[in-house]
Structure 1
């Protein structure tokens, strides 16, 4: 890296500052500048909008002029993007934005986070997209029981299923068991048409959809018929011991503490459990405590059990989903703070006595 000057350019408003340095990044000849800068410089504009620095591109040289801190981050960003492209990754605006966030907020390297392939299927590769997602995936490798807790769209179930499919493909387990509590969220099962399986099927449909993303759809009925993949409501887990299996409990916020205990004690030899849920979306009847809300207090400190927390920053759906999650979080916090608080030491008088 060396310094250079460009006196022909009129300083932009961003050029003002007490201390500015100039740095240069040279992209290796065997890398395509188009891959790093994007079609019509789309990715370059994302980078320029994120930093208070001037970025000049000439041939395969990129010159950055800005504060020492900003220039350093931009240099590191181009180095990370170059490594991603070298590894065969296809850069997108979303990947660049997430790389910038990682460099600003964590010590993790985007090239390590965004290049971790879990499985490749049907022309696409499933990999974590945020630091917390990578830590979650790594925890699944290291621990026997992992809880993935976070809002909608953070990939907690999808990544767990990808790990399950890979474990099956690598013959680390003999079967995958996917389960959900069939909680009546606005509808009563008895009023739905069809057999019991047909009534339960809508609750399990998201799990089937994820499987179709990761496996050849034609193989899924065969694997299910052989018992290699089982998708069933939580009630069907009672009384079983699950050996040599990768077991995923989805929507765990809709379990009672008793159901959670029942499920966790199904663990057999050479098995792994991943429990996913969002404690802000409980559909249990009023007064019923969520098993996911209390389980961390109960199991805290037990070896080989890990709790991974994901946040709105890990949402990988439309950007509005992250904003919606944050808005509801602020609303719930406002309600909590405005709720009447019991006065410590106060004694409630019996009715009828003055």
Structure 2
């Protein structure tokens, strides 16, 4: 009897040790995950509770309706219009929607920075940090539509589902399975626009936004956006949208300002 009790006791002790080891292993795994989340700059609780803006993207005027229909059905969209017409907001929101629905693999956002070598050079940080202030209008929309945590995940260099780069970095690349936004396109030259448009590969939606009335290029240099809108016209692949001052939806004051300065 004494020997049988000893065997039972030994078995119980072995099970206790195994349970203790299992709890210790799970604890180490949880610590590792917490460490990785901390290193990545993401908040585990925030990831679970992150809220996306899921409101439908609805046109507020006829021009926006044409713009949305073009994004849905065309591969290349040129849009020009003054401030507050919704060009940047709609393009960024539709890009986020395409990424969430897995219609494309990544979002690429670019814009020209005049005198980039001088202006960006004086800003602190790497190229992404230098360029961040110029990216802010699109960034705010993407954060709202994708959610902050997922947006930060997409921006990681090893993930690169959302990429931001100055226009000068576009040369020599090919864009495929992507939603590409070129903002402030009135400030690229005609030759630069040609370079950009020849980067386009398969399964892309490309939106070229700008305001040809606000060109900052040197006198005598034609805007690449104005030039492209003369060369292209609506067809099965391309759409050209022109917003007017009456299409401003930012605020009544913004619309009155645009009308006052016409």
**Which band: TM-score by shorter chain?**
0.7 to 0.9
Superposition deviation, residue 192 in structure 1: 3.8
The corresponding residue for 2:129 is 198
Aligned pair in 2 of structure 1 residues 231, 190: CA closer, same or farther (>3 Å)? closer
Equivalent position SS for 1:121: coil
After superposition, the C-alpha distances for 1:191-226 in whole angstroms (9 at most, x for unaligned) are: 444444333222112221121221110111111211
Equivalent of 1:129 in 45, 60, 63? 60
Does residue 223 of the first structure (1) align with residue 154 of the second (2)?
Answer: yes
RMSD of the alignment, in Å?
Answer: 2.1
Aligned pair in 2 of structure 1 residues 297, 144: CA closer, same or farther (>3 Å)? same
**Greater fraction of residues in helix:** 2
Aligned pair in 2 of structure 1 residues 166, 122: CA closer, same or farther (>3 Å)? closer
Superposition deviation, residue 123 in structure 1: 6.0
Superposition deviation, residue 303 in structure 1: 4.6
Aligned pair in 2 of structure 1 residues 199, 159: CA closer, same or farther (>3 Å)? same
Aligned pair in 2 of structure 1 residues 123, 172: CA closer, same or farther (>3 Å)? closer
Does residue 250 of the first structure (1) align with residue 166 of the second (2)?
Answer: no
Equivalent position SS for 2:107: strand
Q: What is the TM-score normalised by the length of structure 2?
A: 0.74
> Does the aligned pair in 1 maintain the 2:54–2:145 contact within 8 Å?
no
Map 1:201-216 onto structure 2 (within 5 A).
201-216=132-147
Aligned pair in 2 of structure 1 residues 241, 157: CA closer, same or farther (>3 Å)? same
Aligned pair in 2 of structure 1 residues 196, 142: CA closer, same or farther (>3 Å)? closer
> Does the aligned pair in 2 maintain the 1:128–1:159 contact within 8 Å?
no
Equivalent of 1:169 in 91, 95, 100? 100
Equivalent of 1:307 in 230, 240, 245? 240
The corresponding residue for 2:216 is 283
Equivalent position SS for 1:307: strand
Equivalent of 1:182 in 113, 120, 144? 113
Tell me the matched-pair count.
Answer: 209
> Does the aligned pair in 1 maintain the 2:232–2:240 contact within 8 Å?
no
Equivalent position SS for 1:151: coil
Tell me the distance in 2 between the aligned counterparts of 1:123 and 1:302: 31
Superposition deviation, residue 328 in structure 1: 1.7
Tell me the distance in 2 between the aligned counterparts of 1:265 and 1:303: 18
The corresponding residue for 1:107 is none
> Does the aligned pair in 2 maintain the 1:121–1:213 contact within 8 Å?
yes
Aligned pair in 2 of structure 1 residues 303, 126: CA closer, same or farther (>3 Å)? closer
**Unaligned runs of at least 5 residues, structure 2:** 1-50
**Unaligned runs of at least 5 residues, structure 1:** 1-119, 330-354
Map 1:1-354 onto structure 2 (within 5 A).
121-122=52-53, 124-184=55-115, 188-225=119-156, 226-300=159-233, 303-329=236-262
Equivalent position SS for 2:214: coil
